[in-house]
Structure 1
Amino acid sequence: MTLNINTETLWIDTPHGQLFGCRWFPAAAAGDRTKSPIVLFHDSLGCVALWRDFPQLLCQATGREVIAYDRLGFGRSCAYPGQLPHHFIRDEAEHFFTHLLEALQIERFVALGHSVGGAMAATCASVHQQRCAALITVSAQAFVEDRTLQGIRTAKAQFEQPGQMARLEKYHGDKSPWVLAAWTETWLSPTFGDWTIESGIDAIRCPLLAIHGEHDEYGSTLHPRRIAELPASGGECLIIDGCHHVPHREAPEALLEAVTRFLADAH
């Protein structure tokens, strides 16, 4: 069945500035609006626009509302006040995501996060465990691995080449230097080296699916296997053959099929 999808832009107030977001939902009576919406958490250089057509395809495939937002400092959201603290993942779950839940009056949600957004999704599932219906991580890191650091060092060197910052400026404007530093300098800092996904999680009471690309340049398949072992009501691990770090661009059909199957019985 082909659903007609509506799109709406959002502005969410927080004490530190506004967050920009979008929502995609089936047109009137076309989908099951009683099911929990899927909230997307973007990666370290990401924003709503960089999800491209994935939110609409996800809405179409699952029949669920999909919500994506730019974290403070990213995309069209307001600038972040100062440097990104090393506890930024837990901060997102306890503060900024809470403002989104309240502003949109969301009682139950499905958390889906890409890369560091996967760790944020997992932390939100823990902090808001009574409200999270399901958790999906995509290419998420569970700890600071040498492979992760090498991938970041390579990307940092590439952004030092002439014209490369223009790629970020297209989406983040004059916040781009902050966005790049928030990623590279945080993860490469020795004081961040002992971070683990477990450090911000108390308990997860929903089903969990950890998806990872076979050739992910920012983390081995140890990450999804470790995430799938988090204390949850059933954890699954899926490795997408031949895929690198961005399955929603490289293997969208495989990703959509996996997510749709996983959420078939979730409310």
Structure 2
Amino acid sequence: MPVATPTVESRTLPVLGHETWVQVTTPTAPRPGALPLVVLHGGPGMAHDYVANLAALAQETGRTVVHYDQLGCGRSTHLPDAPAEFWTPQLFVDEFHAVLTGLGIERCHVLGQSWGGMLGAEIAVRRPASLVSLAICNSPASMQLWVEGAAQLRAELPADVRDALERHEAAGTTTDPEYLAATQVFYARHVCRITPTHPDFAASEAQMEAEPTVYHTMNGPNEFHVVGTLRDWSVVDRLPAVAVPTLVVAGEFDEATPATWAPFVERIPDVTSHVFPGASHCTHLEQPEEFRAVVAAFLAAHDDAAAPAGDEEPGEPR
């Protein structure tokens, strides 16, 4: 008997004078009351490919799953000549709402991974009526906490690796092969503990390296040398404003160390958390079934309570 497969449609939407690429995965058997899930990828600038496997939640939960490549990366409009001040969290908050409008989504769940979780928090503190729940996955509540966590993890690296990182960062030679090799030691421990590199992660990484404007401008040359425009970013003091149920997840060996995501748990009023033993930053790639099971249970718990009595069911994406 053939296995049912979801319908997958991709197109671009006009967003803020540019084009944002979106992919909508629709289950073969939609579950009544199951609201759409919008997935926010990380980076900033890493494209959606490395979180593409979350589309499996469509069949598993009977809900529409939306991915999109944020402006400046992947299949969306690239803007290599845009000034640094163009790339702000508000830009990506506005893009998110434009995507919802373009797809006709009135209410949805949001899952953000890494930078995507930071963006999800930025969206949530503004209390949009469209947001039903938020899953913050492998994300820090401030870049200062992120840098401090990275320093802690770097201190645990072999001495020769630490030396290579420090020498090249001081010299500004962060494209030197020795430096790049040293970064891979960190990545193999704390970013994605899959060997060889998962092809979805490799696809996002290759796109970012081919056109790194967003990542290099907002973050810096890699995950732990943060010198971009986000270096002073924080949502910590605004977290009590989050008014929707929130799930916070991380991996045991995550570069998002417990101290980086503790403010989410401490300050968001309605929050639960889950740590995946043996996993790192790309938990969804390392332990995909376990990750999706935790997310699916959270989404299901907050579907039916989303619409007040008498409200019509929100429309599916057009």
Q: TM-score band (shorter)?
A: 0.7 to 0.9
The Cα shift of 1:112 comes to 0.3
The Cα shift of 1:87 comes to 7.1
- Match status 1:42 vs 2:41: yes
- Match of 2:311? none
- Match of 1:245? 281
In structure 2, relative to structure 1, the CA distance for the partners of 1:131 and 1:170 (3 Å cut) is: same
- Match of 2:212? 176
Q: Secondary structure at the match of 2:275?
A: strand
Q: Which of structures 1 and 2 has the bigger CA Rg?
A: 2
Q: Secondary structure at the match of 2:10?
A: strand
Please give the per-residue CA displacement for 1:81-110, whole angstroms capped at 9, x wherever unaligned: 5144497223311x1111111111110010
- Match of 1:59? 58
The Cα shift of 1:136 comes to 0.3
- Match status 1:26 vs 2:34: no
The Cα shift of 1:196 comes to 1.5
Q: Write the distance in 2 (CA, Å) between the matches of 1:266 and 1:169.
A: 33
The Cα shift of 1:122 comes to 1.7
- Contact in 2 for aligned 1:83/1:182 (Cα 8 Å): no
Q: Secondary structure at the match of 1:32?
A: coil
TM norm structure 1: 0.82
Alignment of 1:1-267 (within 5 A): 4-27=5-28, 30-32=29-31, 34-44=33-43, 45-52=45-52, 54-80=53-79, 82-85=82-85, 88-93=88-93, 95-143=94-142, 144-145=144-145, 146-148=148-150, 160-161=176-177, 170-172=206-208, 174-176=210-212, 178-184=214-220, 188-189=226-227, 192-198=230-236, 203-217=241-255, 219-232=256-269, 234-267=270-303
Aligned identity (percent) is 23
Q: Write the distance in 1 (CA, Å) between the matches of 2:9 and 2:203.
A: 26
Q: Write the distance in 2 (CA, Å) between the matches of 1:221 and 1:198.
A: 14
In structure 2, relative to structure 1, the CA distance for the partners of 1:77 and 1:173 (3 Å cut) is: farther
The Cα shift of 1:210 comes to 0.2
The Cα shift of 1:197 comes to 2.1
Q: Write the distance in 2 (CA, Å) between the matches of 1:193 and 1:170.
A: 24
CA RMSD in angstroms, aligned pairs only: 3.2
Q: Secondary structure at the match of 1:113?
A: strand
The Cα shift of 1:158 comes to 7.3
Q: Write the distance in 2 (CA, Å) between the matches of 1:101 and 1:191.
A: 27
In structure 2, relative to structure 1, the CA distance for the partners of 1:49 and 1:121 (3 Å cut) is: same
- Contact in 1 for aligned 2:15/2:98 (Cα 8 Å): yes
Q: Write the distance in 2 (CA, Å) between the matches of 1:161 and 1:178.
A: 22
Q: Write the distance in 1 (CA, Å) between the matches of 2:299 and 2:112.
A: 15
In structure 2, relative to structure 1, the CA distance for the partners of 1:241 and 1:83 (3 Å cut) is: farther
Please give the per-residue CA displacement for 1:94-131, whole angstroms capped at 9, x wherever unaligned: x1111111111110010100001101112222324322
Any stretches of 5+ residues in structure 2 without a counterpart?
155-161, 181-201, 304-318
- Contact in 2 for aligned 1:136/1:208 (Cα 8 Å): yes
Q: Secondary structure at the match of 1:229?
A: helix
Q: Write the distance in 2 (CA, Å) between the matches of 1:51 and 1:231.
A: 25
- Contact in 1 for aligned 2:216/2:228 (Cα 8 Å): no
- Contact in 1 for aligned 2:218/2:229 (Cα 8 Å): no
Q: Secondary structure at the match of 1:127?
A: coil
In structure 2, relative to structure 1, the CA distance for the partners of 1:178 and 1:161 (3 Å cut) is: farther
The Cα shift of 1:179 comes to 3.5
In structure 2, relative to structure 1, the CA distance for the partners of 1:151 and 1:99 (3 Å cut) is: farther
Q: Write the distance in 2 (CA, Å) between the matches of 1:178 and 1:207.
A: 30
**Higher RCO, Cα 8 Å, sep 6+:** 2
- Contact in 2 for aligned 1:71/1:77 (Cα 8 Å): yes
